[in-house]
Amino acid sequence: MSSPEIASLSWGHMKVKGCSTAYKDCKVWPGGSRTWDWRETGTNHSPGVQPADLEEVVKKGVKTMVIGRGMSEALQVPASTVDYLKKNGIEVLVLQTEKAVAEYNALAAQGVKVGGVFHSTC
């Protein structure tokens, strides 16, 4: 099962190919996507992305995780979150969201089992 292409990205708006829902923030993995609702884990810009935000995507068997920190990179990614991924044998890329989406799409097109979490505003 391949990771779906992110078809479009603009401030506060993301579309995933094959999905009729538009997202503000989203999670993607081989075979699917959904809204990334920060309220589920109490996530804020600081301290930022937590392992709990990534568990669902990790469980899908991804080999690489791409984290989009927002258009202005306001979303933090603590070292403990990166360590969590590495301990699970997952490569991690932490990038500004436009760069993250481009990298994610390139990896998905190569058939890599890639997942991601993307913040589409600040």
pLDDT in single tens digits along all 122 residues of the chain: 899 999 999 999 999 999 999 999 999 999 999 999 999 999 999 999 999 999 999 999 999 999 999 999 999 999 999 999 999 999 999 999 999 999 999 999 999 999 999 999 99
Please choose, from the candidates 27, 26, 24, the residue with its C-alpha nearest in 3D space to the C-alpha of residue 122.
24
CATH class of 6-118: alpha beta
pTM (2 decimals)? 0.97
pLDDT at 1: 86
CB-CB neighbours of 42 under 10 Å: 9
Q: Where are the beta strands (DSSP E) in the chain?
A: 6-10, 13-16, 22-23, 25-29, 32-35, 64-68, 91-95, 114-119
* CA 81 – CA 88 distance, rounded (Å): 11
The reported pLDDT for the residue numbered 59 is 97
Extents of the domains making up the chain? 6-118
Q: Which two tokens stand for residue 15?
A: 């579309």
